[in-house]
Amino acid sequence: MIVDRFGRRFRNLRVSLTAACNYACTYCVPDGRRLMKAKDELTADELVLAVRYLMQAAGIEKIRITGGEPLISSKFDTFLPHVMALPLKDVSFTTNGQMLERKISIIRDAGVQRINVSLDTLDAERFRQIARGGDLATVLRGIDAALDSGIRVKINMVPIKTGNADQVLPMLEYCLERGMELRFIELMRMGHLVHSAAYDRDFLPMQEILDAIALEYQFTRTDAPYDSTSVRYEIPGRGFFGIIANESEPFCASCTRLRLSSDGYLYGCLSNANRHYIRDLLLEPAHVVLPRLQGILMTALTDKQEAFQGEVTVMKLIGG
């Protein structure tokens, strides 16, 4: 097993099906731009092959399918059942929910147990301003369809000071009522936000999120798994919520994530633009692929940072 000096190894793989997205969220996509698919996307078969090799070479145990927006990719319908059939501890995906209702039978039939849906507000007009694509009612129907199918849903919300800070309590109540865990993601210095004053203006720290929640609820901090990104809280008798506090409580020291982009690059760290092309390697026989892949993984592990610095490129391509 490949382990670094902090005891970190790759355990969780995030696979981006496409860099394209039907949203253009203000904190993810610069004004006037849309996220487009890469020219040379891997096919569903190539992605499955890459996953199989990475399970062997890195000991990957969990897969999260992401994007761009994974549900708009034509590969989703074939990739999902194929990875569900692999001997993994967990397969899930993260989506903006716009296509969830339409795809629910494929998702249910594949046996998916849990998903993450990104939702920043319950106000339809604000939704349009932040997401710049899709509509709120469709997402809410998608969430209901997933819950009705017995799928566990976590909701991801990025609180933004000038955008949706007043939605912290309504979003929490909406999630608690439906038995869903809400996870607040502290705004990260990614993409166009890295060198932008908008980051400092919009960043809402963990403590302010907790202060807002404390106005209505009593809560206590609970244990989270070793390599969890989220700090978890329990509201007794109601449920749980979490905060992915990248700035306030960084989790780089226990990060086990590896990322595969839709065009065949491995990324060892979200805070590092270094990437490693593996598409051509997949064409070689297995006895060639595995040792070469292990070499690449060793380098990718050294790409991991001790603390998150921010990065210009990757979030919108490889899905956070």
Query: Can you give the binding site for ligand SAM, defined by CB under 6 A?
Result: 21, 27-28, 66-67, 69, 94-96, 118, 156, 158, 185, 187-188, 190, 193, 315-316, 319-320
Least CB distance from residue 234 to ligand SAM, whole Å? 23
Of 121, 123, 76, nearest to 95 by C-alpha is 76
Element (H, E) at 63: strand 62-66
The nearer residue to ligand SAM, 66 or 164, going by C-beta atoms, is 66
The nearer residue to ligand SAM, 164 or 256, going by C-beta atoms, is 164
The nearer residue to ligand SAM, 118 or 256, going by C-beta atoms, is 118
> Cα(49)–Cα(83) distance, rounded to whole angstroms?
10
The nearer residue to ligand SAM, 213 or 315, going by C-beta atoms, is 315
Least CB distance from residue 111 to ligand SAM, whole Å? 21
The token pair that represents 246 in the structure block: 């990248």
Pairing of strands 12-16, 231-235: unpaired
> Cα(261)–Cα(268) distance, rounded to whole angstroms?
11
Least CB distance from residue 207 to ligand SAM, whole Å? 17
The nearer residue to ligand SAM, 143 or 193, going by C-beta atoms, is 193
Least CB distance from residue 94 to ligand SAM, whole Å? 4
Least CB distance from residue 257 to ligand SAM, whole Å? 13
Residue 139 makes CB contacts below 8 A (sequence gap 6+) with 96, 97, 98, 100, 117, 119, 127
Of 88, 149, 156, nearest to 120 by C-alpha is 156
